[in-house]
C-alpha cells in the first residue's frame, strides 16, 4: 500500500499545492505572486523528480500506467509549466493582482493533463479532459474584460459538447466491449470487425482531443480566446494542453485504435493539410500577435501530424523531434511576449511592436531567431524536425503532401517576414518598459538548449528514440 | 637589348606617371627624355652591331595554356621600332620646350609607356601579347587624350575594336588551339566561321585606324594641344590598327569579303581626308585630314601592292610628323591661331618660314617618289598630286591673299620656335638624304604644280565654305549612328523593359500570384469568423468526414 | 564528433562569426562614434584574409578536387556528416569576397546610423557565405545556402533604403522558393542515398530517370533563382537598383555568386544525357537575358542599374562558362571572378559616394568627378578594368572563357559579346558623363574627396588588380 502511495507521489505533490496555496492565501499577510510561485515551484520540482524516479511504476495499473513514453511527456509538460509559472509571477506582480487562483488552477491543470497522459482507461482520460477544460474555463475567467465573455461562452459550450460526445463514446465502448480500458479495446478490435458506429464512437474520442490539440478545423476556441485571455493564461492554455493532447493522440492511435488505421490515416492527413494551409494563410494578415502565433501553432501541428503518418517508428520519432523543437521555440516566443510591455501594458497588436529593435535589440534578435527557427531554417532546431518529417514523407512516397507542405511553408515564411519587417524596419511607435532579468534568464536557458540542439542534435534525438520505445514497433 | 630597354622604360614610365607633379615636371621630363634618348642610342648601337638577342619570358603556365612574352632584339623588330621611337622622342622633345604642355612629366611617362606597348606589339609572336599590348595602347591613348569630349568616341570605338579583336583571337584560339601568330595560317584549314573571323578583324582595324565612317573619333581630337594631337595620330591606335592588320594578315585571306571591304573603306577614307584637309577651317582638323591621307596611302600600298611594311611605316610616321610640325609651326607663329579663315598674307612676316616649310614639303615629295614610284608609278603620282593640291591650298590661304587675321596676330607674327625648326630640318635632311637619281621630271612637275597652285589659287571658292556651319560643325556620322544604332537600341531596350519586365512579370505573373494569395486569404478570413454556428459546423464536418472515410473504407 | 578539431576551414567560418559577436558587444562611443565597431569588423575580415592566404600556402593550388577536407559528424541517425573542403575556385572567390567586404566597409565607414547592426549582419553574412564556399557535402551546402538569406533580408530591410518594402518581401520570398525547392532536392538525394552525401559523389550517383529528372530540375531552379536570369532578374533588379547603401548592394550582388557556385559544385564532370535539354534551354534564356539586361542598362539613366546590368551580364557569362564543365574554364572563371568582384565592389562604393556628394551639394552628377580627382582616378581605373581592358585578370581570363564559349556555340558566343559591348558602352558612357568638365557645376574646393588613407588603400587595390592581370596567383609562392 505504501509503495503504491509513494509511486503516486508526482500527483500527490501536485495535489498538495492546492491546500498549501489556499492556506497561504487565507492566513499569510504577505502573499505576493512570488509566494505562490515558490510553493508551486518546489512542489513541481518534486513532482518532476518523482516522475523521473518512478518512471515505470504504475500505482493503479488498470487505470494509470507509467513508462518512458509517459514520463517523457509529463516531464516536458511539468518543466514548461514551471517556466510559465516563473514568468507569470512577474506578470501578477506588475499588475498587482492576486495570483493564488491562477496558480491553484494552473497546478490543477498540470495534474489533470498528467493524468490524461498516464491514463490507460478511457474513463480516466475523459475525467482528465473534463477537469482540464473546466480548469481552462476558470483560468479564462481571470480576465475581467467584457470582451472575453462571448469567447468564454463559446468555449464553455463547445468544450462541454465535446465532453458529452466523449462520454457517449465511452459509454458505447463500455457497453459494447464491457470495458473502457485501452488494452481491452485494442484486443477487441483486433478480433472484431469495425462497424460504422464504432467509427463514430472513435471520432467522439478523437475529436475532443484534436480540439484540445488545437488543430484545424477544431482550433476555433483556441484562436478566439488567444486574443482575449490574460498573458499567463494564454501561454499556459496554449502550451500545456497541447503536450498532453499530442501524447494522448499518438498513444491512442498507435496502441488502442491501431485497427482504425484505414480511417484515421486519411482523416489525420486531411486535417494536417488543412491545418498547414489554414494556419499559414490566416497568419499572413493577422494583426494580433497572440493570434498570429496561434495560427502558427495550427500550422506547426499540421506539419507534425503530417510527419507522423503512417504512425510508424520513423514518423513518430521525426514528429516528436519537430514537436519538441517547436515547443522550445514557441516557449521562447512567449517569453519574448512577456518582454513586450509599454507603460505596464502587455502589447498584443503587431503595430505596437513596430521598430522595437531600436529600443530592445537583443530581445528583438532573439524573437527573430525563434521565428526563423519556426520557419524551419537551418541549422535551427526545427530544421532537424522538418528534415526528418520530410524524409519520412519521402520514404512514404507522399510527394503531394510534400508539395503542399512546402507551399504552406512559403506562405508561413511570408507571414514571419512580416513580423520581422515590423520589428526591425519600421519606425518605433511605443516606448517599451524595462525588461525584467528573469526574462533574460529564461531566454538564456532557452538559447542554451538551442545551441546544444544545433551543435549536437544527436544528444536529443538518440535519447528521444530510447524514450519513445514503448510505442515503437 | 630591347627587353632591357622595355623594362627600364616601363619602370620609369610607370613611376613617372604615378608620381607626376607639376612642380618637378620639367626636370623629370628632361630626365625621361635623356634616359629615352640614351636608350635609343644604345638600341641603335646594338642594331648596327648586327647582333641578335632572343628574349622570351614565361608569362602564363596553365595546364593547357602557355604564354610567353617575346621581346627579341632582331633586325626586323628594330627597324619597325625605330620610327615610333623617333616620333616619341620628338614629342617628348617638343613637350619639354613647349610652354603649352602643362603636365610635361605625365605626358612623357605616358609616351614611353606607349612606346613599350608598341614594342610589345611589334615583337609579339603570340596572339595574347599582341592583344594585351594593343589594349594597353588603347588605355594609354585614353590617358594621353586630356579632354573628356575627345575621349568619348575614341573610347567607344576602340572598345568595340578591342572586343572585335578579342573575339577574333578567341575564335582563332578555340579552333587552332595555339596562340602563336605563326600558326594563324592553320585557321584556314582547321577553323570555322571564317567569314565572321575575317570581317571581325576588318572591323577591328577599321575602328582602330579611324577609317571612313569611324573617322570622327580622330576629328574629335582636334581640341587637344598640337603636340599631343600629332603624337596620338601617329603613335596610337591608328598605327596599332595597321600593325594588327600586318600581324593578322593571313586571316584577311580566308574570306572573300574582307579585303574588298577594306579596299572600299580605304578609298572612301582618302576622300574624307581630302574633304577635311580642304574644307575644314580648323588647322588641326586639316592636320588630321592630312594624316588620314598618309595613313590611307600606307594602307593602299600595303593592301593593293604588298609594299614592304617597314617602308610604309617610315613614310607614314615621319611624313606625318613633318606635316604635323609644319602646321604646328604655323599655328605657333600666329599666336596659336587655329582657324585658317583668320589667317592670310602671313608671308609678310614669315618669308623664311614659308620657304622652309615649302622645302619640307618638297623633301617629302622627293622621298615619296624615290621610295614608291618604282613600284606603283600611277598611285604614287596620284598621291603626290593630291598631296600637292592640299598642301598648296593650305599654304596659299595662310601665306598669301588678303589677311583675315586681326591686327594683334599680324603684329605678333613670329618665326616658329627653334625646337620646332630643328626637328623639321632633321626630317627634311632625312627625306632628302636619298640621292637624287631619278624621277626629276616628276619632282619638277610637283614643284611647278605647287607654285602654280599657290599663284593661281584655283580652289579659292572653297574659302566660302569656311563660313558654312553645316560643313564646319556638323557630325553627320554621329547623327547617322544615333539614328541607326543608338536610337533603335534605346527603343528596343524600352520596349523590352515595358513589355517583359513591367507587363509580363509585374502585371501578369506577380499580380496573378498576389491576387491568388489574396483570394485565399479572403476565403480563409470568412472561415475565421468567431461564430458558434460555424464552430458547430466544423465539429459536424469532423464527424462527417470520419463517417465518409468509414463508409469508403467499408465499400 | 569533430575529427579535425580547430581545423583551418572551420576557423575561417568561425572568425567572421566571432567577429560578429565581438562587434555585437563592442561599445559605441558616447558621442555616437562607431569607430570601435568598425575597427572590430574590419579586423575580423582582415584576420580571415590572412587565414585564407595561409590556406593558399597549405594547398596545392593546381591540384584538382577538394583539398584540406574536414569532416564533422553532425547526426548519427539519420547519418549526416558536415564536410568542408576547398579548391582554388572557392578560395579565390572567398578572397575576393573578403576584399570586397573591406572595400564595402570603407564605403560605409562614415555611416553613423545603426552602424553596429550593419556590421553585425554583414559579418554574419560573411560567415555564412564563407561556410557556403567551403561546404563539401549537400547538407552543409544547403544550410549555408539558406542561412545567408536571413542576414541579407535584414540588411536589405534595415539599410537598403529600398523604396517599396514589398520588393524586399518578394525578393526574399522567391529566394525562399529556390531554397525550399533545394531543400526538397536535398532530402530526395539524402533519402535516395540513405545517408549523407558529399558533393563530389553526386557525379557518380546513379539515379533512376524520373528521380534524376526531378532532382536536376529542382537543383537548376533553386540555383537559378539566385542568378539574375530571366525571369528571376526582375526581383533582383527591382531590389538592387534601388539600394542606396554600397555595402548592402555589394552583399546582394554577391548572392548570385552562390547560384553560380552551386552549378560548379553540383554539375557532374560528364553531364548526364538528361541535362542536355536543360542546358540548351538555359543557354538560350541566358543569352537572351544578357542582351535584354544590357539593353535596359544602356537606356536606364540610373547608374545603379547600369552597374547591375553589367554585373548580370557577367554573371550569366560565367554561368554559361561553367555549364561547359571544362576544368580549364573553371580555373579561368575563378581568376576572372576575383577581379570582377573587387571591381564591382569598388565601383559601387564610389558610385554611392558620388551619389551622396551629389545629394549634399544639391547638383546634378554630370561632371561631378572633376571636383573629386582621387575618386575620379579610382573610378576611371575600375571602369576601364570593368570593360575588359588589360588592367585586371578579367581581361585574360575572359579571353579564355570566351574562346571556349565561342567554340561551344558561336551564336551564343556572339550574342554574349554583343551584350558585353553594350554593357561596357553603358559604363563608359556613364564615366564620361561623370567626368564631363563642361557640365560640372561645383568647384573642386567644394567637393570633399576621399581621404588620403582611403586613396592609398584603393591604389593598393588597383595594384592587386594589375598584379592579377600579370599573374592571377601572384600572392602564392611557387604557384
On whether the CB atoms of residues C318 and C337 are closer than 8 A, the answer is yes
Show which residues on chain B lie within 8 Å of chain A, measured between beta carbons: 517, 520-521, 523-525, 527-528, 530, 532, 534-536, 538-539, 541-543, 545-547, 549-551, 553-554
**CA dist B353 → B346, B348, B413 (Å):** 10, 11, 11
Partners of B61 in beta bridges: B66
**CA distances (Å), B28 to each of A266, B13, B21, B99, C273, in order?**
90, 11, 9, 15, 66
Count of domains for chain A: 1
Long-range contacts from A425-429, C-beta under 8 angstroms, 24+ separation: A425/C157, A425/C158, A425/C165, A426/A354, A426/A355, A427/A354, A427/A355, A428/A354, A428/A355, A428/A356, A428/A358, A428/A359, A429/A351, A429/A352, A429/A354, A429/A355
> Please, what is the average pLDDT of chain B?
85
Q: Cα–chain-centroid distance for residue B237? A: 3
CB B365 within 8 A of CB B384: yes
Residue C163 vs residues B138, B500, C149: alpha-carbon distances, Å:
41, 22, 20
Is the CB of residue C281 less than 8 Å from the CB of residue C412? no
Model pLDDT, residue A281? 92
Distance CA A384, CA C188 (A): 15
Which of C157, C188, C191 is facing A425, going by the closest CB pair? Answer: C157
Q: Which grid cell is B169?
A: 583571337
Nearest Cα to A319, choosing from A398, A333, A310? A310
Neighbour-count burial of B251, counting CB atoms closer than 10 A to its CB (0-12 exposed, 13-18 middle, 19+ buried): buried
**Is residue A82 assigned to a domain?**
no
C-beta separation of C69 from C199 below 8 A: no
DSSP for C43-108, please give it.
HHHHHHHHHHHHHHHHS-TT--S-EEEEEEEEETTTTEEEEEEE-HHHHHHHHHHHHHHHHHHHHT
* ipTM of model: 0.86
Q: How far apart are CA C311 and CA B141, in angstroms?
A: 27
- The whole-angstrom distance between C225's CA and the closest CA on chain A is 15
A272-294 mean pLDDT: 90
Task: List, for residues A254-272, the tens digit of each pLDDT value.
Answer: 888 888 888 888 899 999 9
Q: Are A302 and A276 a contacting pair, CB within 8 Å?
A: yes
Choose among A443, A452, A467, A364: nearest CA to A86.
A443
Contact predicate B296/B266, CB 8 Å: yes
Residue A267 lies inside a defined structural domain of this protein: no
Chain A residues with CB inside 8 Å of B513's CB?
none
Judge whether A395 lies within some domain.
Answer: yes
- Say if residue C479's pLDDT is above 70: no
Cell 549634399: give the residue. C360
Q: How many residues does chain B have?
A: 555
Nearest chain C alpha carbon to B487: C299
For residue B114, the model assigns a pLDDT of: 94
C-alpha cell at C367: 561632371
Residue A368 CA to residue A360 CA, distance in Å, equals 12
Tell me, yes or no, whether A288 lies in a domain. Answer: yes
For the stretch B108-127, pLDDT in tens is 999 999 999 999 999 999 99
CA distance A29 to A31: 6
pLDDT tens readout for residues A98-132: 888 999 999 999 999 999 999 999 999 999 999 99
- What span, in angstroms and rounded, lies between the C-alpha atoms of B40 and B4? 12
pLDDT at B94: 92
Inform me whether the pLDDT recorded for C2 exceeds 50. no
DSSP A311: T
- Chain B residues with CB-CB distance to A161 below 8 A: 539
Mean pLDDT, residues C244-272:
85
Give the model's pLDDT for residue A271.
Answer: 92
* Sequence ranges of the domains in chain B: 1-123, 309-474, 482-554
Give CA B113 to chain center in angstroms. Answer: 16
Taking each helix axis from N to C end, the angle separating B418-432 and B309-333, rounded to the nearest 10 degrees, works out to 150
> Which chains would you list as touching A if contact means 3+ CB atom pairs under 8 Å?
B, C
Chain A / chain B CB contacts < 8 angstroms: 77
Question: Are the Cβ atoms of B550 and A196 closer than 8 angstroms?
Answer: yes
8 Å CB contact between B71 and B123: yes
For B154-210, how does the pLDDT look when each residue is reduced to its tens digit (9 = 90+)? 888 998 898 889 889 888 888 888 888 888 888 888 777 888 899 999 999 999 998
Please give the pLDDT value at position C161.
67
Q: Judge whether B170 and C416 are in contact, CB under 8 Å.
A: no
Residue C84 phi, psi (nearest 5)? -115, 150
Candidates B132, B136, B156; nearest CB to C425: B156
Q: CA C251 to CA C101: how far, in whole Å?
A: 8
Nearest CA in chain A to B545: A267
The alpha carbon of residue A451 is apart from the nearest alpha carbon of chain C, in Å, by 13
| Angle made by CA atoms C287, C292, C294, in degrees to the nearest 5 | 95
Chains contacting B (3+ CB pairs below 8 angstroms): A, C
Nearest CB among A203, A220, A271 relative to B543 is that of: A203
Query: Among residues A35, A174, A24, A151, which one has the least CA distance to residue A93?
Result: A35
Q: Three-class SS of residue C137?
A: strand
Q: Residues of A with CB below 8 A from B547's CB?
A: 196, 199-200, 203
Query: Residue A41, preceding bond cis, omega within 30 degrees?
Result: no
Alpha-helical (H) ranges within C267-326 are: 275-299, 303-323
| pLDDT per residue as tens digits for the range A45-96 | 999 999 988 888 887 888 888 888 889 999 999 999 999 999 888 888 888 8
Residue C338 pLDDT: 92
Question: CA-based angle A76:A77:A81, to the nearest 5?
Answer: 120
What phi, psi does C81 have (nearest 5°)? -105, 135
Chain B residues whose CB is inside 8 A of the C402 CB are: 166-167, 170
CA distance C67 to C59: 7
Structure confidence at residue C313 (pLDDT): 93
Q: What is the mean pLDDT of residues A312-327?
A: 85
Q: Is the pLDDT of residue B549 over 80?
A: yes
The alpha carbon of residue C199 is apart from the nearest alpha carbon of chain B, in Å, by 24
Q: What is the dihedral of CA A369, A371, A374, A380, to 10 degrees?
A: -10
Counted across chains A and C, CB pairs separated by less than 8 A come out at: 74
Chain A residue with minimal CA distance to C182? A406
Closest CA to B89 of B430, B429, B423: B423
Distance from CA of C71 to the nearest CA of A (A): 14
Q: Which three cell numbers stand for residue C453?
A: 588613407
Q: Which residue of C has its CA nearest to A409?
A: C180
Query: Closest-CA residue in chain B for C413?
Result: B167
Instruction: Tell whether the model's pLDDT for residue C383 goes beyond 90.
Output: yes
Q: Is the pLDDT of residue B368 over 70?
A: yes
The C-alpha atoms of residue C303 and residue A314 are separated, in whole angstroms, by 55
Amino acid at each position: 500500500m505504501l509503495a503504491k502511495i509513494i509511486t503516486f507521489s508526482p500527483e500527490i505533490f501536485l495535489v498538495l499545492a492546492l491546500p498549501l496555496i489556499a492556506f497561504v492565501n487565507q492566513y499569510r499577510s504577505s502573499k505576493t505572486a512570488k509566494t505562490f510561485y515558490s510553493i508551486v515551484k518546489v512542489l513541481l520540482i518534486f513532482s518532476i523528480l518523482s516522475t523521473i524516479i518512478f518512471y515505470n511504476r504504475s500505482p493503479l495499473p488498470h487505470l494509470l500506467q507509467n513508462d518512458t513514453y509517459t514520463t517523457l511527456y509529463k516531464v516536458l509538460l511539468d518543466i514548461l509549466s514551471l517556466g510559465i509559472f516563473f514568468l507569470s509571477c512577474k506578470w501578477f506582480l506588475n499588475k498587482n493582482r492576486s495570483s493564488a487562483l491562477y496558480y491553484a488552477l494552473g497546478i490543477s491543470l498540470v495534474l489533470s493533463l498528467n493524468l490524461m497522459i498516464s491514463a490507460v482507461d478511457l474513463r480516466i482520460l475523459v475525467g482528465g479532459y473534463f477537469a482540464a477544460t473546466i480548469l481552462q474555463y476558470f483560468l479564462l475567467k481571470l480576465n475581467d474584460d467584457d470582451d472575453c465573455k462571448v469567447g468564454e461562452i463559446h468555449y464553455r459550450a463547445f468544450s462541454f459538447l465535446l465532453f458529452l460526445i466523449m462520454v457517449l463514446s465511452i459509454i458505447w465502448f463500455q457497453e459494447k466491449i464491457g470495458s473502457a480500458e485501452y488494452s481491452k479495446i485494442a484486443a477487441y478490435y483486433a478480433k472484431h470487425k469495425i462497424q460504422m458506429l464504432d467509427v463514430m464512437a472513435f471520432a467522439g474520442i478523437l475529436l475532443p482531443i484534436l480540439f484540445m490539440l488545437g488543430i484545424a478545423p477544431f482550433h476555433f476556441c483556441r484562436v478566439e480566446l488567444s486574443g482575449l485571455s490574460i498573458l499567463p493564461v494564454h501561454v499556459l492554455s496554449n502550451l500545456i494542453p497541447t503536450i498532453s493532447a499530442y501524447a494522448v493522440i499518438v498513444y491512442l492511435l498507435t496502441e488502442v485504435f491501431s485497427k482504425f488505421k484505414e480511417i484515421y490515416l486519411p482523416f489525420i492527413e486531411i486535417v494536417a493539410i488543412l491545418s498547414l494551409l489554414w494556419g499559414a494563410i490566416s497568419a499572413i494578415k493577422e494583426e494580433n500577435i497572440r493570434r498570429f502565433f496561434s495560427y502558427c501553432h495550427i500550422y506547426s501541428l499540421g506539419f507534425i501530424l503530417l510527419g507522423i503518418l503512417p504512425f510508424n517508428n520513423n514518423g513518430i520519432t521525426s514528429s516528436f523531434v519537430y514537436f519538441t523543437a517547436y515547443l522550445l521555440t514557441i516557449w521562447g516566443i512567449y517569453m519574448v511576449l512577456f518582454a513586450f510591455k509599454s507603460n505596464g501594458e502587455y502589447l498584443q497588436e503587431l503595430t505596437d511592436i513596430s521598430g522595437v529593435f531600436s529600443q530592445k535589440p537583443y530581445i528583438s534578435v532573439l524573437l527573430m531567431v525563434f521565428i526563423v527557427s519556426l520557419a524551419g531554417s537551418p541549422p535551427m532546431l526545427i530544421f532537424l524536425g522538418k528534415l526528418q518529417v520530410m524524409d519520412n514523407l519521402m520514404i512514404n512516397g507522399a510527394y503531394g503532401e510534400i508539395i503542399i507542405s512546402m507551399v504552406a511553408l512559403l506562405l508561413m515564411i511570408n507571414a514571419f517576414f512580416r513580423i520581422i519587417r515590423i520589428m526591425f524596419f519600421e519606425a518605433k511607435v511605443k516606448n517599451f518598459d524595462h525588461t525584467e532579468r528573469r526574462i533574460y534568464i529564461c531566454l538564456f536557458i532557452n538559447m542554451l538548449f538551442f545551441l546544444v540542439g544545433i551543435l549536437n542534435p544527436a544528444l536529443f534525438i538518440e535519447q528521444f528514440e530510447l524514450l519513445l520505445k514503448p510505442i515503437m514497433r | 637589348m630591347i627587353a632591357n630597354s622595355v623594362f627600364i622604360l616601363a619602370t620609369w614610365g610607370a613611376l613617372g606617371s604615378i608620381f607626376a607633379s607639376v612642380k618637378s615636371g620639367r626636370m623629370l621630363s628632361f630626365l625621361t627624355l635623356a634616359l629615352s634618348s640614351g636608350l635609343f642610342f644604345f638600341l641603335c648601337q646594338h642594331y648596327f652591331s648586327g647582333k641578335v638577342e632572343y628574349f622570351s619570358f614565361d608569362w602564363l603556365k596553365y595546364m593547357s595554356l602557355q604564354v610567353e612574352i617575346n621581346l627579341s632584339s632582331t633586325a626586323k623588330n628594330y627597324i619597325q621600332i625605330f620610327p615610333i621611337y623617333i616620333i616619341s622622342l620628338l614629342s617628348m622633345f617638343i613637350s619639354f620646350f613647349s610652354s603649352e604642355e602643362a603636365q610635361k612629366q605625365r605626358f612623357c611617362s605616358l609616351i614611353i609607356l606607349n612606346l613599350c606597348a608598341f614594342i610589345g606589339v611589334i615583337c609579339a609572336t603570340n596572339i595574347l601579347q599582341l592583344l594585351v599590348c594593343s589594349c594597353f595602347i588603347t588605355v594609354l591613348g585614353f590617358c594621353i587624350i586630356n579632354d573628356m569630349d575627345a575621349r568619348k568616341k575614341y573610347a567607344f570605338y576602340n572598345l568595340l575594336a578591342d572586343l572585335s579583336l578579342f573575339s577574333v583571337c578567341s575564335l582563332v584560339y578555340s579552333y587552332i588551339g595555339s596562340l602563336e601568330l605563326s600558326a594563324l595560317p592553320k585557321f584556314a584549314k582547321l577553323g570555322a566561321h571564317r567569314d565572321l573571323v575575317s570581317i571581325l578583324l576588318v572591323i577591328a582595324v577599321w575602328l582602330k585606324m579611324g577609317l571612313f565612317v569611324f573617322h570622327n573619333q580622330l576629328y574629335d581630337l582636334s581640341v587637344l594641344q598640337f603636340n599631343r594631337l600629332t603624337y596620338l595620330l601617329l603613335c596610337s591606335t591608328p598605327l596599332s590598327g595597321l600593325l594588327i592588320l600586318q600581324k593578322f594578315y593571313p586571316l584577311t585571306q580566308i574570306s572573300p569579303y574582307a579585303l574588298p571591304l577594306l579596299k572600299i573603306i580605304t578609298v572612301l577614307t582618302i576622300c574624307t581626308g581630302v574633304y577635311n584637309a580642304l574644307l575644314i577651317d580648323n588647322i588641326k582638323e586639316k592636320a588630321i585630314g592630312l594624316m588620314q591621307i598618309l595613313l590611307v596611302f600606307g594602307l593602299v600600298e600595303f593592301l593593293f601592292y604588298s609594299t614592304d611594311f617597314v617602308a610604309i611605316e617610315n613614310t607614314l610616321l615621319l611624313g606625318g610628323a613633318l606635316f604635323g610640325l609644319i602646321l604646328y609651326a604655323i599655328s605657333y607663329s600666329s599666336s596659336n591661331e587655329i582657324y585658317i579663315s583668320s589667317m592670310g598674307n602671313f608671308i609678310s612676316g614669315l618669308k623664311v618660314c614659308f620657304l622652309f616649310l615649302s622645302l619640307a614639303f618638297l623633301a617629302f615629295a622627293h622621298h615619296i617618289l624615290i621610295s614608291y614610284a618604282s613600284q606603283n608609278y600611277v598611285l604614287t603620282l596620284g598621291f603626290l598630286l593630291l598631296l600637292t593640291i592640299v598642301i598648296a591650298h593650305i599654304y596659299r590661304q595662310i601665306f598669301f591673299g588678303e589677311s583675315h587675321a586681326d591686327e594683334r596676330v599680324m603684329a605678333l607674327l613670329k618665326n616658329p620656335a627653334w625646337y620646332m625648326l630643328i626637328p623639321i630640318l632633321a626630317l627634311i635632311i632625312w627625306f632628302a638624304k636619298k640621292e637624287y637619281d631619278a624621277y626629276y621630271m616628276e619632282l619638277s612637275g610637283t614643284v611647278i604644280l605647287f607654285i602654280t597652285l599657290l599663284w593661281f589659287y584655283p580652289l579659292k571658292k572653297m574659302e566660302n565654305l569656311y563660313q558654312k556651319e553645316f560643313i564646319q560643325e556638323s557630325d553627320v556620322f554621329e547623327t547617322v549612328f544615333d539614328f541607326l544604332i543608338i536610337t533603335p537600341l534605346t527603343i528596343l531596350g524600352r520596349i523590352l523593359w515595358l513589355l517583359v519586365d513591367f507587363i509580363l512579370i509585374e502585371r501578369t505573373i506577380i499580380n496573378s500570384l498576389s491576387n491568388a494569395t489574396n483570394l485565399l486569404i479572403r476565403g480563409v478570413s470568412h472561415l475565421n469568423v468567431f461564430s458558434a454556428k460555424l464552430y458547430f459546423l466544423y465539429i459536424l464536418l469532423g464527424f462527417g468526414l470520419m463517417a465518409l472515410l468509414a463508409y469508403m473504407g467499408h465499400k | 564528433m569533430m575529427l579535425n578539431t580547430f581545423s583551418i576551414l572551420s576557423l575561417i567560418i568561425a572568425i567572421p562569426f566571432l567577429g560578429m559577436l565581438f562587434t555585437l558587444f563592442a561599445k559605441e562611443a558616447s558621442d555616437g562614434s562607431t569607430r570601435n565597431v568598425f575597427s572590430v569588423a574590419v579586423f575580423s575580415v582582415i584576420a580571415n584574409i590572412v587565414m585564407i592566404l595561409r590556406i593558399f600556402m597549405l594547398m596545392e593550388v593546381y591540384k584538382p578536387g577538394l583539398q584540406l577536407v574536414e569532416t564533422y559528424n553532425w547526426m548519427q541517425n539519420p547519418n549526416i556528416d558536415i564536410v568542408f573542403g576547398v579548391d582554388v575556385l572557392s578560395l579565390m572567390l572567398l578572397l575576393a569576397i573578403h576584399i570586397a567586404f573591406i572595400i564595402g566597409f570603407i564605403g560605409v565607414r562614415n555611416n553613423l546610423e545603426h552602424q553596429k547592426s550593419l556590421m553585425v549582419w554583414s559579418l554574419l553574412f560573411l560567415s555564412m557565405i564563407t561556410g557556403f564556399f567551403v561546404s563539401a557535402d549537400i547538407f552543409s551546402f544547403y544550410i549555408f545556402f539558406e542561412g545567408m538569406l536571413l542576414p541579407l533580408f535584414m540588411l536589405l530591410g534595415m539599410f537598403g533604403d529600398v523604396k517599396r518594402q514589398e520588393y524586399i518581401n518578394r525578393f526574399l520570398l522567391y529566394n525562399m522558393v529556390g531554397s525550399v525547392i533545394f531543400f526538397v532536392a536535398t532530402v530526395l538525394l539524402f533519402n535516395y542515398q540513405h545517408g549523407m552525401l558529399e558533393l563530389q559523389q553526386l557525379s557518380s550517383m546513379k539515379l533512376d530517370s524520373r528521380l534524376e529528372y526531378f532532382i536536376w530540375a529542382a537543383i537548376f531552379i533553386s540555383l537559378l533563382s539566385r542568378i539574375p536570369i530571366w525571369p528571376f532578374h526582375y526581383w533582383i533588379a527591382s531590389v538592387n537598383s534601388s539600394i542606396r547603401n554600397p555595402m548592402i548592394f555589394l552583399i546582394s550582388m554577391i548572392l548570385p555568386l552562390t547560384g553560380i557556385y552551386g552549378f560548379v559544385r553540383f554539375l557532374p564532370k560528364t553531364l548526364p544525357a538528361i541535362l542536355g535539354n536543360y542546358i540548351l534551354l538555359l543557354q538560350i534564356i541566358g543569352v537572351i537575358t544578357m542582351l535584354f539586361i544590357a539593353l535596359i542598362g544602356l537606356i536606364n539613366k540610373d547608374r545603379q542599374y547600369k552597374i547591375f546590368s553589367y554585373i548580370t551580364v557577367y554573371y550569366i557569362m560565367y554561368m554559361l562558362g561553367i555549364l561547359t564543365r571544362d576544368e580549364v574554364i573553371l580555373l579561368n572563371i575563378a581568376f576572372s571572378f576575383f577581379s570582377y568582384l573587387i571591381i564591382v565592389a569598388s565601383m559601387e562604393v564610389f558610385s554611392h559616394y558620388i551619389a551622396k556628394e551629389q545629394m549634399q551639394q544639391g547638383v546634378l552628377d554630370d561632371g561631378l568627378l572633376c571636383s573629386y580627382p582621387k575618386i575620379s582616378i579610382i573610378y576611371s581605373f575600375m571602369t576601364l578594368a570593368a570593360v575588359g581592358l588589360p588592367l585586371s585578370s578579367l581581361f585574360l581570363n575572359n579571353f579564355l572563357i570566351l574562346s571556349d564559349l565561342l567554340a561551344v556555340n558561336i551564336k551564343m558566343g556572339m550574342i554574349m559579346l554583343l551584350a558585353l559591348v553594350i554593357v561596357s558602352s553603358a559604363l563608359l558612357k556613364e564615366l564620361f558623363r561623370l567626368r564631363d568638365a563642361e557640365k560640372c557645376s561645383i568647384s573642386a574646393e567644394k567637393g570633399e574627396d576621399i581621404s588620403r588613407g582611403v586613396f592609398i588603400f584603393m591604389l593598393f587595390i588597383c595594384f592587386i588588380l594589375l598584379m592579377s592581370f600579370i599573374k592571377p596567383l601572384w600572392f602564392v609562392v611557387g604557384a
